[in-house]
């Protein structure tokens, strides 16, 4: 009997190991059906946004963080093209001594902007018809920045202008889009006093993710109704992998890095 005892024990041990392995693999697959398999770490706390506020909000049972910085009057705002250079946002804010930076509008794979883009007395792209890029961010040479639906006839008094969108009016209705996905969002916003804000919105538990584009009007309507972040109008910028957000003060900075090149950077320098 002894000569059969050892093989039987080995078989039992192998069966137990196999059972545990199968169970572990099954649990791993079930827990990663809708994920990349990369563990999402909890948002580090406390987060600190220099010169701004971080607001927590919830929509569709998902918690989001809204990073917002109001641009002081008399600040110098510039638009820096980055289509062929493909520098990182961190490199651009450092080289241009930006106190605040956010990515600009959409761009294509051929190192060209998607739509009109004029900066530094140079035109990089022409107007395109688009239901998404239905707005223009325009700053005149006096430094007045606004969101417009129809661009100026000529650029005689234009400091910079670029096509982007969609234009967002906070309300109870979602945007009607053919395709949409969750992604980190970059936006420009204005309140009823005309103050300009740079905004990034992410998921609370994953700063590289964010809401559906279609949900933005409702999310900001909730914030406005609660008198938490009362913005009157917003315009969407490039998002997802090409979203970038930066703000600094004497104590440090907060940077939401992009993981793809940004087509352009909106750079703000405070008046000293």
What is residue 3's three-state secondary structure? Answer: helix
Per-residue model confidence as pLDDT tens digits over 85-137: 999 999 999 999 999 999 999 998 888 999 999 999 999 999 999 999 999 99
> What pLDDT score was predicted for residue 30?
32
CA distance 170 to 97: 33
Across the range 233-240, mean pLDDT stands at 97
Nearest-angstrom CA–CA distance, 249 and 254: 9
Q: How far is CA 236 from CA 137, 143, 217, 231, in A?
A: 10, 21, 11, 13
Query: pLDDT tier at 153 (50, 70, 90 boundaries)?
Result: confident
Paired with 145 in beta bridges are 139
Q: In this structure, are residues 222 and 79 in contact, taking their beta carbons and an 8 Å threshold? A: no
| 234 burial type by CB count under 10 A (0-12 exposed, 13-18 middle, 19+ buried) | buried
Q: Is residue 139 helix, strand or coil?
A: strand
Lowest mean pLDDT among 4-13, 35-44, 204-213, 257-266: 35-44
pLDDT of the residue at 242: 96
CB 257 within 8 A of CB 89: yes
Q: Please state the rounded mean pLDDT for residues 137-147.
A: 96
- The three-point CA angle 144-150-152 to 5° equals 60
**Average pLDDT of the residues in 142-152:** 94
Could you give the percent of the chain with pLDDT greater than 90? 78
**What is the reported pLDDT for 226?**
95
pTM of the model: 0.83
pLDDT at residue 189 above 70?
yes
CA neighbor of 66 nearest in space, from 201, 188, 210: 201
What is the arrangement of strands in the sheet containing 196-203, beginning at the earlier edge strand? 52-59, 62-70, 196-203, 185-191, 231-236, 167-168
Write down the pLDDT at residue 109: 80
**pLDDT class of 6 with cuts at 50, 70, 90:** low
């Amino acid at each position: 009997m002894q000569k059969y005892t050892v093989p039987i024990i080995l078989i039992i041990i192998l069966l137990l190991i196999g059972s545990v392995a199968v169970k572990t693999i099954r649990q791993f697959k079930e827990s990663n059906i809708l994920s990349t398999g990369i563990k999402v770490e909890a948002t580090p706390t406390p987060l600190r946004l220099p010169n701004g506020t971080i607001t927590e909000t919830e929509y569709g049972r998902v918690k989001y963080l809204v990073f917002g910085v109001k641009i002081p009057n008399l600040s110098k705002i510039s638009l820096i093209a980055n289509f062929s250079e493909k520098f990182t946002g961190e490199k651009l804010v450092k080289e241009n001594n930006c106190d605040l930076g956010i990515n600009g509008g959409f761009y294509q794979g051929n190192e060209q902007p998607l739509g009109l883009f004029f900066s530094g007395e140079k035109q990089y792209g022409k107007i395109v018809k688009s239901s998404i890029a239905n707005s223009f961010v325009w700053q005149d040479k006096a430094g007045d920045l606004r969101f417009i639906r129809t661009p100026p006839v000529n650029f005689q008094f234009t400091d910079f202008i670029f096509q982007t969108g969609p234009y967002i009016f906070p309300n109870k209705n979602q945007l009607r889009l053919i395709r949409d996905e969750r992604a980190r969002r970059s936006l420009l916003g204005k309140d009823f006093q005309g103050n300009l804000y740079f905004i990034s919105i992410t998921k609370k538990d994953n700063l590289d993710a964010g809401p559906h584009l279609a949900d933005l009007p409702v999310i900001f309507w909730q914030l406005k109704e609660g008198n938490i972040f009362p913005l009157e109008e917003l315009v969407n910028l490039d998002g997802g992998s090409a979203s970038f957000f930066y703000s600094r003060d004497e104590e440090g900075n907060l940077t939401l890095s992009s993981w793809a090149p940004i087509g352009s950077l909106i750079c703000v320098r405070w008046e000293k």
